[in-house]
Structure formats: C-alpha cells, structure tokens
Amino acid sequence: MPPRVTLSLLTCPSGKPLAKKIVKKLSPKTKNGVKLIDSTQTIFANTEIKNSINQSIRGRDVYIVQDVENHSEGMSVDENLRSLYTTIDACRRCDARRITVVLPSYPYARQDKQDGREGITAARVAWELEGEMGADHIITVDLHNSAIQGFFRRAKIDNLRGGYVLIPYLRNLIKNPEETTIMPTDLGGAKRANYFAQSLCTDIAFAYKERSYSKANCVEKIEILGEIKGKDIIIVDDMIDTGGTLIRAIEKAKEKGARSIHTVCTLALLNGQAIENFSKLYEEGILNSVVGTDATYHSKEMIKENKWFKEISIDDYLAEVIFRINRGRSIGELLS
C-alpha cells in the first residue's frame, strides 16, 4: 500500500540517539529511504528554547521523536518537554499535513490522579501536547496508567507494549518455564505480570508494598505472596526510577529462597543511586541482571561498565509502527 503522504522524521536533540536508530530500520521499508529532517535548537541566555526547521515539510506526514528522560544534552524533563512543544508548533506553522509525536516515555505519567491538594499533571501534558493546533497523534510505550489515554480529547494515542521486544529475549533466557516465576513489584503491576506469565508459560507470584508518603521514592516494606523458593524469578515493571521498590523486592525474593533474580522493564531511568545499588546487588550475587530498552537513553559507557545491565532495542518495533501508520495499515497485531 503506498503512503498517504510523504513520511518525514524529525527529532529534538534529546531524541536524536533513538531517532537515528529508527531511521536505519525504517529506510529499508520505504522506496526512497528516510532521512532526518534538518532542524536547529537554540537555547537563549534566559533559558528560553527555540526550534527551527531548516527545510520544507509542507503537506508531509511528520513524526517527531523525543526522549524526555535523556539528560545527556544537559536538559531536564521539563526542558525536553518544552523543546518538544516548540518543535510541534514549528511543524504546525510550517504546514505539516499531520504531526505524530513519538514519545516512548510519557512525562509526568505518575501524576495521573489527585491525592489531596495537587494537580493531575499527566492530564495537563496531554492537553498541551494536542492543544488546538498541537499534535494529531501520540505514540508512547507502556504508560504507567493506561487511563492516561482518556486525557486526550482530540489526538489519537497508541500505547505500545514493551513486552513485544522483551518477551522474545526472555524466552531465550528462561531455561525451564516450570521453574520460573514472574513477579510484579506491586499489586498495581499484576496485569502486566500476568501478561508476561501467560506469554512465557510460567507461574506468577505477587509483591505487596507498604509505601511511606512522607517523602518521594520511599517504600517502607515489601511482602511476597506465592511460593518462590528454589525458583528463577523475573521481576517485571514498567519503569525503574531510583529502584527503591525494586531493590526491596529483590532482597525479599532472595530472602525467600529465590535461585536467581532477573528484572525486566521498558523504561530503565536509573536515577539517583540506582546504578550503584544494582551494582552492589550484582557483586553480592543477589541480582543476576536488569533488562531494559532504549526507549530511554543509556550511554555506551554505562552499558559497558555495568555487566548486569542488558539493553534491548525498540527501534525496529517503532519503525514498523511508523511505517504502518504512514501507509494507513493496522497496527493491532503490534499492540497484542
């Protein structure tokens, strides 16, 4: 099926590592190949951000790649988000036919409901992304809460599954499904854990956490429901931030007699002391590996220095989704 309109790929600076990978996978799928649209970002002395597009995109089907969790350019989540907004606005003013934002890590996804006198910032992000003249389509991966899709009134949103690339890796990792147990870090991840367990034909256990809300990223204790003694445990989650919850789950699983422990997530943010803490668990023989994707950026040096970390690429997955959307084809099988 021919493309509906010419496909163009554009990136903000923090999205460039992933965008370059997508281009390599996407080009062979198209007749004339795909190149990144030339663009320039300027940061002024007062920290204002301006993005300029240096070639015509009039009438094109534009895909903007942004990794808000990539801080290698010295930009925070908020600055990366502002960079994305200015790029969307530039595309709209350059008369792009359709604008799709490829945003694997949805910012403020954990601020998805109100608890006391606070905002629902995940909803605010949705409103600002689509706006009256904003993006037409959002592609993201493993939303922290799928209900966030309901915050979009006008734009179409596709929530891809990290399991699409992680499960094939785990099939090769698992030696004996009958001796393997999938476990989420909390009961909120039960649906995801069940999806992995059914796909891999393994047992499932559950971790229950009691969280202290006196400060951010603090969990008081973890308990495990289910028999895991002598089992190979795979702990699954959507993201690892500082890793506080996950580390307690790993320690509790080892205490309960787990034979080996691997952890799997889509968004390995690894903030704070996460790398140091996982390195310590690995050196002590408690943790076998942490498996993440390049939905968020990890430097070559970080991957090389930390033998416990394994990165799986979602570049081909995203390239296929973009290709099918551009040609008006279904992506249903890529979401199941």
Is the pTM above the cut of 0.75?
yes
Examine residue 222 and state whether it is found in any structural domain, yes or no: yes
The CATH number given to whatever domain includes residue 326 is 3.40.50.2020
Q: Report the share of the chain in percent with pLDDT over 90.
A: 84
111 & 222 share domain: no
234 & 124 share domain: no
153 & 187 share domain: no
pLDDT, tens digit (0-9, with 9 covering 90-100), for 208-247: 876 655 556 555 678 899 999 999 999 999 999 999 989 9
- How far from 66 is each of 9, 79, 83, 130, 242, CA to CA, in Å? 11, 11, 9, 15, 22
30 & 153 share domain: yes
Say what the pLDDT of residue 25 is.
98
133 & 214 share domain: no
pLDDT tops 70 at residue 122? yes
Containing domain of residue 209, as a range? 163-312
Say what the pLDDT of residue 222 is.
84
DSSP string across 60-72: -EEEEE--TT--T
From the list 25, 102, 111, 42, the residue with the least C-alpha distance to 68 is 102
Positions marked catalytic? 209
Say what the pLDDT of residue 17 is.
98
Structure tokens at 40: 């320039």
Say what the pLDDT of residue 212 is.
59
With cut-offs at 50, 70 and 90, classify the pLDDT of residue 21: very high
Residue type present at position 282:
Y
Examine residue 13 and state whether it is found in any structural domain, yes or no: yes
Examine residue 39 and state whether it is found in any structural domain, yes or no: yes
Beta bridge partners of 285: none
With cut-offs at 50, 70 and 90, classify the pLDDT of residue 177: very high
Q: Report the share of the chain in percent with pLDDT over 70.
A: 96
Say what the pLDDT of residue 5 is.
85
Query: What φ, ψ does residue 210 adopt, rounded to 5°?
Result: -110, 115
Sign of the torsion angle spanned by Cα atoms 97, 53, 106, 161: positive
Reported as type and span, the H/E element at residue 237 is: strand 232-240
Examine residue 325 and state whether it is found in any structural domain, yes or no: yes
100 & 172 share domain: no
Examine residue 257 and state whether it is found in any structural domain, yes or no: yes
pLDDT tops 80 at residue 251? yes
With cut-offs at 50, 70 and 90, classify the pLDDT of residue 2: low
Say what the pLDDT of residue 215 is.
59
Q: Looking at the chain, how many residues does it have?
A: 336
17 & 103 share domain: yes
